[in-house]
Chains A and B, each alone.
Chain A
Amino acid sequence: MFNQPNRAVGIVGYGAYVPRFRLPGSEISRVWTEGNSRSPIREKAVPGKDEDTATMSIEAARNALARAQIDPQLLRAVWVGSESHPYAVKPTGTIVAEAIGATPVTLAADWQFACKAGTEATQAAIGFVGSGMGDYALSIGMDTAQGRPGDALEYTAGAGGAAYIIGPAEQACALIQRTGSYVSDTTDFWRRPTTHYPSHAERFSGDPGYFGHVVPAAAALMAEMGTTPADYRYVVFHQPNAKFPTRALEQLGFTKEQWQTGLLVREIGNTYAGAAMIGLTAVLDVAAPGDRILMVSYGSGAGSDGFDLLATDKITEVQTRAPSTRSYIERRVQIDYAQYVRMRRKLATH
């Protein structure tokens, strides 16, 4: 088990971002299977031609700053977790830090751990603020995921994510009561440096991968806290589709009332490093003081981070200081497969 930080910390500001384009699963099915396969989700979010993980992180970070109402010069870390950083070499973190006014006296870096990269950065931010090395640290999970055309993952590979400013517990809208982590070397999904699309071991991604980490991570955290599912008002699990998290949550004894607020995958797709984190922003948008929340991420490769959170009296006032997660989901422009091919540069023009 992890020790608690030297000083108590919490979320002092949070912000979501989802691009406005939506590709229905029926479009992918139409093009690749003559409409004969059923999409696992209704539609997924697609970034515009001028968007990438850096620009989306900047907007989520500005929303988090608007909620926290702190001077960005007080941030001592700007950390971006993603598997779709715009550069292979050159940090997204410095671009985001510059744009939000956090430079120059701050750490800035990128984190990589498939879909767990963002919560890994949050764990580090908790340690950084909790040790007293800085009063505020920004951690972001954001992705513009790409699936190989015609591959099963093309239905769900979405775009979006969230930003969290970790700070002292006294200023928090949600206290971080405890965190945990559970990792192993499990090769269920990967991408080599020079390839554009990921590979995956279809049958491996469920049991040894997702369920083999999410369930024990959640169970261990609840055992340490002496809690049962009934103690939580809301629960958010990583959501590569709707089937995996609901099966894991049912197995642990959670109910639909607890998970439906944070289960966004049917509307925006799997946002990879953003998925659990933006599920949590959707919950924080409607949480009331005293609500307890369990969040568990999952990243292929593989591992899970668990967070036990408690909304404070400050939650109500911060909710309206920036656009809600729902407002981004409802800002929706439907596209067809041809527009998607152009936007996501799947069309060779030379």
Chain B
Amino acid sequence: MGIPNLWRTKGQRYSLAGEICPSCSQHIFPPRDVCPHCAKPAGPIHTLSGRGEVYSYTTMYNVPQGFQEQSPYTVALVKLEEGPMVTAQLTDVENEEVAIGMKVEMVTRKLREESEEGQIVYGYKFRPRLTEAA
């Protein structure tokens, strides 16, 4: 992903900025022009709570170029409280502790570094919730 694309998507990557459809009231993530639920124009930006649970997961030992620094790590499908499903890396957890249904919360972390001299890409990951109330 190049610099322009990273710049355009920073809101969704840093803070789970999604949308609420003005027609059918469904939460949409990532933001887009047309609601995937009712095909009407999608709505204004609405930041998701970041709370959800692990729907499915896999631990990766052979990771793509640029991600070796953090391997091995677990990638999960996270079902957010508001409805959307997102794919994200889990963090602050031992890979063998991950379980389906685990309650997680969004944090903003380093996703990768392009090189020693390149830019650092930040984005959302999920971790076990620090507190049930939070």
Contact = CB atoms under 8 A, between A and B. Distances in A.
Interface stretch (A50-58, A123-131, A151-159, A304-312): A50-58
B130 interface: yes
A20 interface: yes
Interface in B95-122: 107-111, 120, 122
A50 B110 contact: yes
Interface in B8-26: 10-11, 14-15
Contact of B130 (A49, A101, A327): A327
Interface string A309-344: 000000000001011000100010000000000000
Contact of A52 (B10, B15, B120): B120
Interface residues of B, number: 22
Nearest to A324: B131
B110 A98 contact: no
A87 B113 CA distance: 12
A340 B122 CA distance: 22
Contacts of B133: 320
A101 to B, nearest CB: 6
**Interface size classification for chain A:** 20 to 34
B130 A58 contact: no
B110 to A, nearest CB: 4
A99 interface: yes
A248 interface: no
Contacts of A86: 120
Interface of B: 10-11, 14-15, 47, 69-70, 89, 91-92, 107-111, 120, 122, 125, 130-131, 133-134
Complex A-B, nearest 6 residue pairs according to Cβ-Cβ distance, in ascending order: A99-B14, A50-B109, A50-B110, A58-B108, A49-B70, A323-B130
Interface of A: 20, 48-52, 54-55, 58-59, 66, 86-87, 95, 98-101, 320, 322-323, 327, 331
Given A50-B109, A51-B109, A59-B107, 16 more contacts: A49-B70, A50-B91, A54-B120, A54-B122, A55-B110, A55-B122, A66-B134, A87-B120, A95-B14, A98-B14, A99-B122, A100-B15, A101-B47, A320-B133, A323-B130, A331-B130
